[in-house]
Structure 1
Amino acid sequence: MNRILFILLALVALALAILLFLPGLVPVSAFKGRIETQASNALGREVSFGDDLSFRIFPRTAFRVTDLVIANADGFSGDYLARVEEADIGVKLLPLLSDSVEIDRFVLTRPDIRLTRAQDGAVNWNLAQSETAPSETETSSAQRELKLGDVRIVDGAARYEDLSTGKSYVAEEIDMTVVLKSLTEPLEAKGEMQFQGAPATVDMVLTSLRAIMDQEPGNLKLDLKVGDAEIGADLAITTKDGVHYSGPASLSAPDLPAFAALAGTELAEAPGFDKLSVKGDIDGNDASLRLENASINFDEIAAQGAVMLNWAGARPKASGVLSTDKLDLRPYMPPPSTSAEGFPAWSEAKMDFASLNNIDADFDISTDAVYVNDLEFGESRIKLLVDAGRLTAEIPELSMYGGQGSGRVVVNARGATPSFAGNFDVGAVQAQPFSKDLMKHDNLLGLGSFKLNFAATGDSQAAIMRTIDGSGGFDLADGALKGVNIAGLVRAVGQFTEGFNPAALQRAVAEARGPSQQTDFSEFLSDFSITNGLVSAPTITLNGPYLSMSGQGTINLAEQKIDLRLSPKGTTVLEGQEGGRTVTVPVRIGGTFSKPTIGIDAESLARTGLQRTLENVLSNRNKKEDGEEGADATDEEADPARAIIEGIIGGKKKEPDQQQDGATEDSAATPEETLINEGLNAIFGKKKTAPKEETKEEEPQQ
């Protein structure tokens, strides 16, 4: 009995000795070539190991290899697809007896994986299978159950380069832990890295690895944080005929330029493009995705709808159909003026439209409101197209200040200097709120329509105003001009029967102006053209209950100056009263956008009156020449306008003895003063007064 027990103990000791010392006695390096050959045949690529190759059974079965290199595919630059500085693999022996592979330790130290997509779409990670059909043993081995224990990647690196788009991505300092209880159970991966130089964390669950290996549907749940951006997804995945995924996903990028740089797209420095958040159901592949039931927040714009994103080309392209409660374009416009009151000066600040080169777009957008600087538009529809830096906004439905219409705007930023063009045609617009937002005053009331066609170039507001060309017109009905009563002004001037009185005229103008005064009209219309920022209005027409008015003028957009000459015609009495006469009083509107002025056009008034008087003079001369009655020499000499003409053209002067009695040579006015005073009196109709009676005593000289 003792002898049998001794033999058993000896056998056990021998077995232990074999387990302990056999791996050291068997030269593993002798099998190195065979292992490399088998691995190369399995992967379809050359596989090589370093000379530091070891194998042990106790205390646990383990295989260690250094300098593991998998060669790159033919036609791709670079020495390898993957390189592992050290791989330490521990396998449990007993599960192998039941066709199960249970790896309790799998540690890859400083692996470096380099993935490349060629310009023709070929990839270097498409590993070929052995050309020979697998044997039953190999098939059986492939079906073995795989379980992972301590699986780690230590200080790894991965690089991806797409030669067709010129984009590349780099992940470094990868420290990852992987758990896989079986091929049919979830694969869990959690770790951290530096992605494109930014810290990143990954928490991923893939179910199941067996399904993915068999090109059957699986599921991926992903929580990824890169820099300040966060990505979440719960996707169904298939790998048959390429990678395809679908399911709910979300993106939050509070720093959009930084996130875009991480994604391989450099956004130009320009107003806007600050933040982005997206949530919805995605359906996509490795080159594009479609987002349904989308909720999108881009800067200050919140939208819902469907979006398609394709990043396979040189620039990403987004398209879709969206609706939003407001389309706020103010962040992309030049900053507003800080002027406390009045119309602000045009800004010389450079306008940067480089963001139009960031992405191509094709969107159909419906919105309840649009904000462009101080202008507010209502419910509208916009078809937005961005193509290589050129934006076209077709606006088939435009609501603004109670009116409806359509328009089109083109912004071309392809060249060194941006250019602009567009047209608008809108009707039933409420003039007061529109003029208040556009011109910073609310003095225009009425309901009407306007048309505008324009084209300009420039990289600032001021530059655009200096180069703008175009045409347009407006037609207002049943409105008023606040701040001035033109009809009252005409009546006041028409009452002057005692000659030219500047003080009285000034009082009349002051009384016709003021916050409580206004000029009512039934229609107010004009057409205009624009050349290099100068608006020319050859015809301005206004008709009201007490007057009619015509006029013309110019507006210098670049210098913000106004020069309008109007000729309102009204009666000297209110409607319904008897008597009175029709009077035309020239009015001039000048000043600037910030401080407009309005008053009597004295120059035109004097010119018009003088012209009429000259016509009378010429008429009297013609009558005399024709021998008509009433054209005697006495009338001609008594006419002061005639005296003005003779003073100008050198008519005959009176002799000293022809002077009026009681007027000495020292006290008489100069001929020029006499001519001017008599001419003005004639123009404004001063009544003649009887000559003074001669006094017996001679007045003392001054």
Structure 2
Amino acid sequence: MKKLIYIVGGLFAALLLVVVIITVVFDPNDYKDEISTAVKDATGRELIIGGDIGWNLFPSFGLGLADVSFSNPQGFPEPTMASLKSLDVSVAMLPLLGGTLKVSHIAIDDVKLNLITLADGTDNLSDLKSGSSTAKSTEPEAQSSGQKGLSGVELGAISITNIAVNVDNRQLGSKQLAELKHFKLNQFVPGARSDASLALLVKSDDTEIDVAIEAAITIASSFDVIELHELALDALIAGPSIPNGQLKKHVSGKGNINLAGPTVDLQDIQIEVGSLTGSGWFKFRQQAVPDIQVALAFDTLNVDEFTPVSNGESPEQAKKTPSDPDAEPDLSALKSLNFDGDLSFNKVLVAGLTVTNVKLHANLKDGVLDANPIHLDLYGGSADARAVLNAQQAVGSYRSEFALKSVQALPLLTDLADLKMVSGNANFDMNIRGTGLSTNKLKSASAGNGKFLFADGALEGVNIAQMIRSAKALLKGEKAPEEEKKTDFSSLSGSFTLAKGVATNPDLKLASPLLRVDGEGSMNVMANTLDYTATTEIVATSKGQGGADAEDLKGLKVPLKVSGPLDDLKYGIDFEEAMKGEYKEKLEKEKDKGLKKLSDKLGDFLGGKD
């Protein structure tokens, strides 16, 4: 045993002696000019080593470098392309005897890199790329047989601070800055836990992204698996285009990265983005078409919180540069990966609309996105849907199924589009399909059909019974009392077809204790207008809706016209047509009493024919 100790001690002493001799006899500073000249000959640029190249002897053997700069080519605004303030590397000597390279310390500080593209497209890397030799080395290739490499590599503490990369593209008129504030690693030893931290700042135009990462990892001895014990990422995005000026993000989790696949498997993911919080898991597999699987559950999503602001652009300015309504979106990205995932939200707030219990399963494979099922609860009822988007062709096609059940119509329409058209318990079914996803194609080329039923509600903005009572009062030379502009009904139903931008409804039916309405009409989707004709019949003598008795109007059928934009509908009675029946005879009897002129007033009052 003593002999072995003596042998090892002797070898170490001899190695130490060699190191001392090298550091005393060999001074790397003597070769700085030769190094600079070699770089000048190879690249045509200046390499300046302003500081000393120094040896480190204790506790490890190493080398230090300071104040190094590398120039830009002629014609660039910045004289320096890259600079380095200091670099220190230390290698433990004793592990080398066992074939292990142990870099005990690496420290790099204050590196600046300027990447510039001139207006003509020339950049300060072009000459380095073209000057690199592509010829094969004339040196004899090392033979793998008979040569023994290192049995292992270990890295000790790594400290990298103040690394700045400036990207100045004068051809595009853009500037970006990426600044690595620090990267620290306590050790990099296969099979052992390593703790790391990173702080990074990215500036692009008027937006800043500040990122901080804390991680604890273990890399397998075979270097093919990375175990993430802990991973935490915090980011702050700030800028005038960000809602409220800034947005905070936090993501944490753990999992495994298999470099042989490669695959990524993350578990216990926790996400905080602004006020949005969620959790779940994520899997990724690299293959011919990358595959992603994910399941994430969130609490409350306020979409307005993540909607970019307009950068101060007025509506008038926005109209000057409108998007092309015939432009088809680029769906090529849908063919670049496969995806299968589940997303859920307890609540979603968007443009004044509130929905709850949102659940979505989406599958993307070979360019076909199938969202099925889609479910959400809203305004006392629920909505279920399926949507399929096919991006296999140059112009995408789609089909969808949509159903509303027991939804309160008035608050839904009010919050969604500020429309107060109809109230009641709404049930709605629709199937739609089409080819082309431009704004105009979606409106004009969609085709489908559906049906609707509103129960126990009212038409808002019009009181059909009151309009007829007003006709009766005017015939008597009286003034009808004012009533609420609302037509109550027990049911409002119909079916429709959609083609060429027009939804056609041939069988509109409204039923109430006082009257019946049968009609037909259409909605122009492109213009957002309605055009309906209907026949209204008084079927009961009840006062109904707070009005006077209508006994002498019972059985009267009155043509009704509804037309105009959705947010400003006009209602009118075709009084001339109504007078062709029994009520016309009543009017004739009153002719001698001077009421003939009153019929003309009725036509004007009720919006009848000219």
Same fold (TM over 0.5): yes
Shift of 1:395: 3.6
Tell me, yes or no, if structure 1 residue 403 matches structure 2 residue 361: no
Match of 1:306 in 2: 280
Question: 2: distance between equivalents of 1:454 and 1:334?
Answer: 33
Tell me, yes or no, if structure 1 residue 428 matches structure 2 residue 400: no
How has the CA–CA distance of structure 1 residues 319 and 61 changed in structure 2, closer, same or farther, with 3 Å as cutoff?
same
Question: 1: distance between equivalents of 2:527 and 2:96?
Answer: 88
Question: 2: distance between equivalents of 1:65 and 1:220?
Answer: 38
Question: 1: distance between equivalents of 2:392 and 2:410?
Answer: 38
How has the CA–CA distance of structure 1 residues 389 and 224 changed in structure 2, closer, same or farther, with 3 Å as cutoff?
farther
- Determine helix, strand or coil for the equivalent of 1:552: strand
Question: 1: distance between equivalents of 2:419 and 2:227?
Answer: 57
Instruction: Confirm or deny: 8 A CA contact 2:504 2:521 kept in the other structure.
Output: yes
Instruction: Confirm or deny: 8 A CA contact 1:529 1:535 kept in the other structure.
Output: yes
- Determine helix, strand or coil for the equivalent of 2:60: strand
Tell me, yes or no, if structure 1 residue 283 matches structure 2 residue 265: no
Match of 2:140 in 1: none
Q: 1:238 aligns with which of 219, 234, 241?
A: 219
Instruction: Confirm or deny: 8 A CA contact 2:282 2:295 kept in the other structure.
Output: no
- Determine helix, strand or coil for the equivalent of 1:369: strand
How has the CA–CA distance of structure 1 residues 482 and 470 changed in structure 2, closer, same or farther, with 3 Å as cutoff?
same
Tell me, yes or no, if structure 1 residue 102 matches structure 2 residue 60: yes
Instruction: Confirm or deny: 8 A CA contact 1:105 1:151 kept in the other structure.
Output: no
Question: 1: distance between equivalents of 2:364 and 2:308?
Answer: 17
Q: Percent identity?
A: 18
Which deviates further from its counterpart, 283-292 or 563-572? 283-292
Q: 1:560 aligns with which of 503, 523, 528?
A: 528
Structure 1: state its 5+ residue gaps. Answer: 1-18, 24-54, 69-78, 96-100, 113-136, 158-171, 173-182, 258-270, 341-346, 614-679, 691-702
Shift of 1:392: 3.8
Q: 1:686 aligns with which of 579, 589, 592?
A: 589
Which deviates further from its counterpart, 581-590 or 288-297? 288-297
How has the CA–CA distance of structure 1 residues 386 and 146 changed in structure 2, closer, same or farther, with 3 Å as cutoff?
closer
Match of 2:572 in 1: 599
Q: 1:472 aligns with which of 440, 450, 462?
A: 450
Structure 2 counterpart of 1:232, which letter?
A: I
Q: 2:371 aligns with which of 356, 372, 393?
A: 393
Match of 1:193 in 2: 163
> Once the two structures are superposed, what CA deviation does each residue of 1:220-249 show, in whole Å capped at 9, x if it has no partner?
322231523424122121233314131222
Instruction: Confirm or deny: 8 A CA contact 1:490 1:583 kept in the other structure.
Output: no
Larger Rg: 1
Structure 2 counterpart of 1:559, which letter?
A: A
Question: 2: distance between equivalents of 1:564 and 1:412?
Answer: 36
Q: 2:24 aligns with which of 46, 54, 57?
A: 57
How has the CA–CA distance of structure 1 residues 364 and 301 changed in structure 2, closer, same or farther, with 3 Å as cutoff?
farther
- Determine helix, strand or coil for the equivalent of 2:536: strand
Instruction: Confirm or deny: 8 A CA contact 2:444 2:499 kept in the other structure.
Output: no
- Determine helix, strand or coil for the equivalent of 2:485: strand
Instruction: Confirm or deny: 8 A CA contact 1:106 1:150 kept in the other structure.
Output: no
Question: 2: distance between equivalents of 1:418 and 1:593?
Answer: 30
Tell me, yes or no, if structure 1 residue 249 matches structure 2 residue 222: no
Instruction: Confirm or deny: 8 A CA contact 2:455 2:491 kept in the other structure.
Output: yes
Shift of 1:517: 3.1
How has the CA–CA distance of structure 1 residues 439 and 85 changed in structure 2, closer, same or farther, with 3 Å as cutoff?
closer
Question: 2: distance between equivalents of 1:567 and 1:320?
Answer: 55
Structure 2 counterpart of 1:469, which letter?
A: A
Question: 1: distance between equivalents of 2:550 and 2:567?
Answer: 42
How has the CA–CA distance of structure 1 residues 549 and 578 changed in structure 2, closer, same or farther, with 3 Å as cutoff?
closer
How has the CA–CA distance of structure 1 residues 147 and 428 changed in structure 2, closer, same or farther, with 3 Å as cutoff?
closer
Q: TM-score, normalised by structure 1?
A: 0.54
Instruction: Confirm or deny: 8 A CA contact 1:367 1:380 kept in the other structure.
Output: yes
Tell me, yes or no, if structure 1 residue 449 matches structure 2 residue 407: no
Structure 2: state its 5+ residue gaps. Answer: 1-16, 36-41, 71-92, 114-127, 129-152, 168-176, 203-208, 317-321, 594-610
Count of residue pairs the alignment pairs up: 464
Question: 2: distance between equivalents of 1:424 and 1:150?
Answer: 61
Instruction: Confirm or deny: 8 A CA contact 1:348 1:462 kept in the other structure.
Output: no
Question: 1: distance between equivalents of 2:416 and 2:396?
Answer: 23
Q: How does 1:309-324 map to 2 (within 5 A)?
A: 310=284, 312=286, 318-324=292-298
Indicate the RMSD between aligned Cα atoms, in angstroms.
5.1
Structure 1 counterpart of 2:256, which letter?
A: G
Structure 1 counterpart of 2:589, which letter?
A: K
Question: 2: distance between equivalents of 1:375 and 1:154?
Answer: 51
Instruction: Confirm or deny: 8 A CA contact 2:102 2:155 kept in the other structure.
Output: no
Shift of 1:476: 1.5
- Determine helix, strand or coil for the equivalent of 1:441: coil
Q: TM-score, normalised by structure 2?
A: 0.61
